[in-house]
Amino acid sequence: MSELLGGVETGGTWCVCAIGTGPDELVAREQFRTSEPEETIARIGDFFAAGPRIAALGVGSFGPVDPDPESSTWGYVTTTPKPGWQQTPIAPRLRARLDVPVVFDNDVNAAAVGEHRWGAGDGIASLCYLTVGTGIGAGLLIGGRPWHGLVHPEVGHIRIPHDRARDPFDGICPVHGDCWEGLAAGGAIAQRWEADPRELPDGHAAWELETEYLALGILSIVLVASPERLIVGGGVMERAGLLAALRRRLPELLDGYLQTPLLAERIDEYLVAPQLGDSAGVLGAIALAGDALTARG
């Protein structure tokens, strides 16, 4: 085994830490709930301090984040709606605690990298990893590398059509109300229907509405970014039949406008489930750490 690497995924609900070099070579892994910043960052540091020495650390965090190494707030969670986490310096604190090189990105970019390296995106040059869970986020890879642009894409906060006659729900996003995340994230389903989404039966009206909202957001991603594959994961997508429903609805919305079999009869090859499950983010963080170490020579 080559030098050991560390990976961290700090999600809105769960935090995952791992040491290793890939999915088949993990020597330690721990998962715990994401609590307030001081406790969470301390627990991450304790995990790596107690384990075998790592050569570098990759961190994929819920956002918005500042991934710019030249910025004074590099490594920060910035304007997140998650209470207590605004302007939290995750990467700088871990770098100081562990004294190793740290590479930092958002959690969905890390998951996209993980799936590209070892999962459902293997061999695909441009892909989008979409997660639908506590929130909605997407990581976009172009040429196998995460795309940031000005800051980084925040697709969970795009606007999608909201027919208030059909759905009078105002949305849960504390910033935008009825943005995509505000209407279709797991918390929106729970609040709209006053029930845990996992307890709603398959025939419940919630799932027809969720299919429509998710398909509308995915349509925007396809039309703007045109990824060669779209991987859809997250807790909401664990609902049996939801992926199949999206595979039916997306071509209907496109209505043949984009002429490619991957958006028609081969849609099941285009809109796919992740292969790495809930390890995609932490494995992607390990991959980012390894890439950064290689770049340093």
In terms of C-beta density within 10 A (0-12 exposed, 13-18 middle, 19 or more buried), how is residue 139 classed?
buried
Q: Which domains does the chain have, with CATH numbers?
A: 5-110+277-296 (3.30.420.40), 120-272 (3.30.420.40)
Residue 81: which pLDDT band, with cuts at 50, 70 and 90?
confident
- Quick one: average pLDDT of 195-201? 96
The tally of CA atoms less than 13 A away on the side-chain side of residue 81 is 14
Q: What band does 65 get if pLDDT is binned at 50, 70 and 90?
A: very high
Count the alpha carbons within 13 Å of 66 in the hemisphere toward its beta carbon: 19
Q: Tell me the pairing of strands 145-146 and 136-142.
A: antiparallel
Structure confidence by residue, pLDDT tens digits, 146-177 = 999 888 889 999 999 999 999 999 999 999 99
pLDDT value of position 1: 45
Per DSSP, the three-state class of 207 is helix
Residue 272 has, within 13 A of its CA and on its CB side, a CA count of 22
Label residue 119 by pLDDT band (50, 70, 90). very high
What pLDDT score does 146 carry? 93
Secondary structure class of 246 (helix, strand, coil)? helix
Question: Per-residue pLDDT for 37 more than 80?
Answer: yes
Asked if residue 11 has pLDDT above 90, the reply is: no
Whether pLDDT at 76 is above 60: yes
Torsion-angle region of 84 (φ positive above 0: left; ψ -120 to 50: alpha; else: beta): left
CB 242 within 8 A of CB 211: yes
Closest CA to 234 of 244, 221, 222, 243: 243
- Residue 255's pLDDT is 95
- Residue 186: name the closest of 224, 127, 254, 134 by CA: 134
Q: Return the H-helix or E-strand segment holding 221.
A: helix 205-225
**Longest Cα pair distance anywhere in the chain, in angstroms?**
59
Dihedral sign computed on CA atoms, order 55, 51, 68, 115: positive
Angle separating helix axes 107-118 and 280-296, nearest 10 degrees = 80
What does residue 226 show for φ and ψ, rounded to 5 degrees? 50, 50
The reported pTM is 0.92
Burial class, 74, CB count within 10 angstroms (exposed 0-12 / middle 13-18 / buried 19+): middle
Reported as a single tens digit per residue, the pLDDT across 246-287 is 999 999 999 999 999 999 999 999 999 999 988 999 999 999
Which residue is associated with the tokens 């396809």?
222
Averaged over 102-123, what is the pLDDT?
96
* Main-chain dihedrals φ then ψ at residue 262, nearest 5 degrees: -70, -15
Q: Residue 43: is its pLDDT beyond 90?
A: yes
pLDDT mean across residues, the chain: 95
Question: What would the pLDDT profile of 206-255 be if each residue is shown by its tens digit?
Answer: 999 999 999 999 999 999 999 999 999 999 999 999 999 999 999 999 99
Name the percent of the chain lying above pLDDT 70: 100
